[in-house]
Amino acid sequence: MTGLHPLTHKPGGRRFDSGDLASLVLGLALVGGIAAMIDWKFVRSLDFVVVVDYWQPLLKGALTTLFVTAAALVVGLALGIVIAILLQLPLGPLRWLLLLYVELWRNTPLIVQLFWIHFGLPVVTGVSPTALESGLLALTLQSSAYLADIARAGIQAVPRGQWQAGRALGLPTASLWLEVVLPQALKIMIPPFANLALSFLNGSALLGLIQVGELMTVATKISDYTFKPIEIMTAVGALYLVLNLVVGRLAHWLELATRTPR
């Protein structure tokens, strides 16, 4: 019989047993089932040359996606840290407003926020932002709310002894925050920040709806123009996946590189 705990399930260098056989049979059945369902004549009629023809706008779109995501995350990180610090202070009603801000952005869909900013606000304020400005604003505000929460958790995870030691040494409040608490909190924040970065990278595809000019905008434009949505969407999906995996790797590497040796 196979072991109980899943961790014990992957011993190397053993004989092919009933579990391997069951896996192989099920796997082949799945692959066969999917292959039988696909209309191969249709697949052969697809023309992926169009992706190669449009590689330049696609690349530009991908770079814009990276830029928009990075900008939103960097500004959001700064805002988030400020909000998290403010939340630690006894501010009375202002604290409640900040909490409301954070929870509102965290608990509504990005698409609603985007449309609210792009279509709703101009009616009230009289200022019409460009699609890029609206997109950046929506992403930044949402990331600031998520990052405020991440920063709050990071600050709280800094051991109490660090605060007490800082105070006992007579450090002024500014250096207590900047030199003792925040550097440690930032390190703790890396894994949740990386997760957020990945979800924003994918979330930014939504900006295609208001034609911000990032990868999804480019993709819908090309597929409308060439009438080859399947080829374009497949390629763009693959491109997003690659971006996602690369950013994920980088984040993992950063996490390892900044780990405090024990």
Partner 1 sequence: MGFDGGIILRHLPELSAGLRLTLLLAVVALLVGTALGFFGCLGKLLGRGLLFWIASIYVTVMRGVPEMVVMFWIYYCGPLVLGAKLSSFAAAATAMSLFAGAHLAEIFRAGILAVPRGQSEAARALGLPIFSQWVEIVLPQALRMMIPPFIGLVTLVIKISGLASAIGVAELVYEASIVSGQTYRYFELFSAVGVLYFLIIFPLSLTAQRYERVLARRSR
Residues that bind partner 1 (CB under 8 A): 1-2, 4-7, 9-10, 19-20, 23-24, 26-28, 30-31, 37-39, 42-43, 103-104, 106-113, 115-116, 119-121, 123-124, 202-206, 208-209, 216, 219-220, 229-230, 233-234, 236-237, 240-241, 244-245
Contact assessment for residue 176 and residue 163, using Cβ atoms and an 8 Å cutoff: yes
Shortest distance (Å) from residue 236 CB to partner 1: 6
| Backbone φ/ψ region at 213: left (φ over 0), alpha (ψ -120 to 50), beta | left
* Cβ-based nearer residue to partner 1, 69 or 140: 69
- List the end-to-end C-alpha distance of the chain, in Å, as a whole number: 40
* Cβ-based nearer residue to partner 1, 183 or 237: 237
Shortest distance (Å) from residue 237 CB to partner 1: 5
Q: Which of 165, 202, 219, 166 is nearest to 54 (CA)?
A: 219
* Cβ-based nearer residue to partner 1, 15 or 170: 15
Shortest distance (Å) from residue 25 CB to partner 1: 9
* Cβ-based nearer residue to partner 1, 37 or 52: 37
* Cβ-based nearer residue to partner 1, 26 or 78: 26
Q: Which of 86, 98, 102 is nearest to 145 (CA)?
A: 102
- Other Cβ atoms less than 10 A from the Cβ of 78: the count is 13
Handedness of CA 110, 72, 68, 251 (dihedral sign): negative
In Å, the largest CA–CA distance within the chain is: 76
Identity of residue 37: M
Shortest distance (Å) from residue 79 CB to partner 1: 20
Shortest distance (Å) from residue 195 CB to partner 1: 11
| Backbone φ/ψ region at 53: left (φ over 0), alpha (ψ -120 to 50), beta | alpha
* Cβ-based nearer residue to partner 1, 132 or 230: 230
* Cβ-based nearer residue to partner 1, 77 or 236: 236
Shortest distance (Å) from residue 82 CB to partner 1: 23
Q: Which of 68, 37, 18 is nearest to 200 (CA)?
A: 68
Two structure tokens written together for 234: 């497949």
Shortest distance (Å) from residue 169 CB to partner 1: 30
Q: Which of 91, 71, 78 is nearest to 148 (CA)?
A: 78
